[in-house]
Structure 1
Amino acid sequence: MSLVTVIILTYNEELHIERCIRNLQKISSHIVLIDSCSTDKTCAIATSLGAKVYENPWPGSHSIQFNWALENCTFDTEWLMRMDADEYLTDELIDEINRTLPATPSETGGFIIKRRVIFLGKWIKRGGFYPHRLLRVWRNGYGKLEERWMDEHVVLSKGNIAHLQYDMVDHNLNNLTWWTQKQNNYANREVLDLVDIQNRSTAAANVAASLTGEQFSRKRWLKEKAYSRIPLFVRPLCYFFFRYILLLGFLDGKAGLVFHFLQGFWYRFLVDAKMLELRMAGLKRSEKK
């Protein structure tokens, strides 16, 4: 009997969903898709593989969609797990989960998993991108996603956090045109997140920004207390230099150059350009008044 239900948010993921489900079936027979009205074969493929599919129109953010699932779907297993359609578990992690969950002490509320990113066929090991530690497994009823536009994490209401040793893999098979379009959409949400930080309206986030906490808490502190206070267009340069030079991103080769430049500089420069556009629009509205 499966101990864990895996929840996947999907929209037009026919390229990845079979790989994802077949991989996850090695730890669970309870795989649930929350689909945002896909127009491709995502739902048909998932259903044919035995997954359960719920459809809910995209509400605007991952956190709202995921929390909708927690509030409206019935999960009978002791544990829940969050996965993306373009992710999968290594064989070592599969074995570790199957051994660990049945023997987990009651005081443990969730597990952090290390995620590795594959980009243009290469594992991005440097630039501060590995290991990326995320809370992805938690006891049913103990957690929900924090409500923010970007970098939303699972927040536990009780229980200790433990760490799993082995990796999950983020390996998206789409081309760079698709990838850059996705980053453009992320940039819109990143702007909203930074505006919330500036307006001090992120109290609902729940993950405390702390230099002494888990990795996601430290990153949250750096974003809210440092990065967000650096002038526009200066911060993408500083971040790229820090990541590509000081954190040795250049050792990831050509694929690493493309990844660190696009994700570490171009994306963040685009966010700042959108921030500038937003400020100019606000200034124009003020002048008209």
Structure 2
Amino acid sequence: MIDLSVIILTHNESRHIERCIRSLQQVTDKIFIVDSFSTDNTLSIASRLGATVVQNPWVSYAFQFNYGIQNNPFNTKWVMRMDADEYITSELAQELKQNLSLTPAEVSGLYIKRRVYFMNQWIRRGGYYPIWLLRIWRQGIGICEELWMDEHIKLSSGTTAQLQNDIVDHNLNNLTWWTQKHNNYAIREVIDLLNIKYNFDEKATVQPDFWGSQEQRTRFLKIKYAGLPLFTRPFLYFIFRYIIKLGFLDGKKGLIWHFLQGFWYRFLVDAKIYEVYQQAGKNKQDIITHFRTEYGKDLKSPNQSVRI
């Protein structure tokens, strides 16, 4: 086993959690589950497989994950972030066992490629592979950004390096579950895009940089995307992904994925922003009041909101 602990957030993940834990057991037995009061048998599965499990009320992803970082019971050199519907490949497990202890002292974070599966198919195109994510960092160096969407691990010092093998994101729930989840995501995305324009909250985040790391480039492009006209940008983004980035080569399942995730979801976000403007206008304080009364959310802090 390697000197690594893994933090996983769960809520009703009985369909995925065993697969996730068993893949991680190739490299470590130090698995820490922070559960937001699941009502299925997620906890019993995780406990049976030897994971350490605690429960904590959900506020936001960043709040919950930082709770996991602060309360991690394992004093390991390295910490890893995983989602319950992900698993590590055997190739990544072997790479970690061979190389993690040899990482130079100046390197404090490691990027891993993520493969996304949709309807049991690997989405290879449309800019969806490889996606590089900072998933492993030295204990005490990383913290999760307090953002509404697209939260990344922010390092306080050191440099980063890349691993060669993959994490697989393969959710087994049906399409109805997926669309309901993304409808909830859309509210958070609305707040995140409006925050770029109105600056509701000043939090330390990853620095936008097109030529920087994956998350720096993502942040840069999101700021540019936020400046485009409503209802125009979903069309442009879908054309970019499906035509220019060759998403059409992913076949019928790829069409469903790229259309729903690359167009429908983003069109829904714009429709919700349009609704905000219709109901609250474009004054910053009126928008803050609208979200507080309509959704029970304080736009000045993702950590003062109810679960969505």
TM superposition score category, shorter chain reference: over 0.9
- Please tell me the residue identity of whatever aligns with 1:130: Y
Do the aligned partners of 2:7 and 2:69 also contact (CA within 8 Å) in 1?
no
Q: Distance in 2 between matches of 1:22 and 1:76?
A: 21
- Which residue does 2:119 correspond to in 1? 120
1:75 is displaced (CA, Å) by 2.8
Distance (Å, rounded) in 1 between the aligned partners of 2:79 and 2:69: 10
Q: Is the 8 A contact 2:115 2:169 kept in 1?
A: yes
Residues 137, 187 of structure 1: alpha-carbon distance in 2 compared, 3 angstrom cutoff: same
Residue identity in the other structure for 2:85 = D
2:250 to 248, 252, 274: 252
1:184 CA displacement: 0.7
Give 1:43 deviation, angstroms. 0.5
User: Contact between 2:143 and 2:155, CA under 8 Å: does it hold in 1?
Assistant: yes
Give the corresponding residue for 1:16: 16
RMSD between superposed Cα atoms in Å: 1.4
Q: State how far apart, in whole Å, the 1-side matches of 2:67 and 2:214 are.
A: 26
Aligned residue number for residue 54 of structure 2:
54
Find the partner of 1:236 among 229, 234, 237: 234
Local SS of the residue matching 1:207: coil
Distance 1:9 1:228 in 2: 29
Q: Residue deviations 1:246-288, cap 9 Å, x none?
A: 10000000010000000000000010111111111113997xx
Contact kept in structure 2, 1:111 and 1:164, CA below 8 Å: yes
In 2, are the aligned partners of 1:2 and 1:30 still within 8 Å (CA)? Answer: no
- Name the residue aligned to 1:177: 176
Superposed displacement of residue 104, structure 1: 1.2
Q: Which residue of 2 aligns with 1:25?
A: 25
Alpha-carbon separation, structure 2, partners of 1:48 and 1:228: 45
Aligned residues with identical type, % of pairs: 57
**Displacement of 1:201 after TM fit?**
4.2
Quick one: distance in 2 between partners of 1:254 and 1:155?
A: 37
Matches within 5 A, 1:250-289: 250-283=248-281
After superposition, give the CA deviation of every residue in 1:202-224 in whole Å (9 maximum; x if it has no partner). Answer: 64142010011012111110111
In structure 2, give the amino acid aligned to 1:190.
Answer: E
Structure 1 residues 202 and 125: alpha-carbon distance in aligned structure 2, compared to 1, 3 A threshold:
farther
- In structure 2, what is the equivalent of residue 222 of structure 1? 221
* Deviation by residue 1:23-51 (Cα, 9 ceiling, x = unmatched): 10001110011000000000010000000
- Residues of 2 paired with 1:284 and 1:235: CA distance? 19
Q: Where in structure 1 are there 5+ consecutive unaligned residues?
A: none
1:40-96 superposed Cα distances (whole Å, 9 cap, x missing partner): 00001000000000100111x211110112223333111000000010111111100
Say yes or no: does 1:95 pair with 2:94.
Answer: yes
SS at match of 2:147: coil
Is the partner of 1:40 in helix, strand or coil? Answer: coil
Report Cα offsets for 1:160-195 as digits up to 9, x if no partner.
Answer: 101001111000000000010111111111011111
TM-score when scaled to structure 2?
0.90
Q: State the TM-score, normalizing by the size of structure 1.
A: 0.95
Secondary structure, aligned partner of 2:207: coil
Consecutive aligned runs of 4 or more in structure 1 exceeding 4 Å deviation: none
In 1, the alpha carbon distance for the partners of 2:28 and 2:202 equals 35
SS for the counterpart of 1:204 is coil
1:83 matched to which residue of 2?
82
1:198 paired residue number: 197
> Which residue is equivalent to 1:151?
150
Deviations 1:133-181 (A, max 9, x none): 0000000000010110000100110111010011110000000000101
Contact 1:243 1:260 in 2 (8 A): yes
Amino acid at match of 1:36: S
Measured in 2, the distance between the counterparts of 1:284 and 1:113 equals 40
Distance 2:39 2:242 in 1: 38
Q: 1:117 to 1:202 in 2, by over 3 A?
A: farther
SS at structure 2 position matched to 1:32 = strand
- Aligned partner of 2:7 in structure 1 is 7
Q: Take 2:116 and 2:26, find their aligned partners in 1: how far apart are those partners?
A: 21
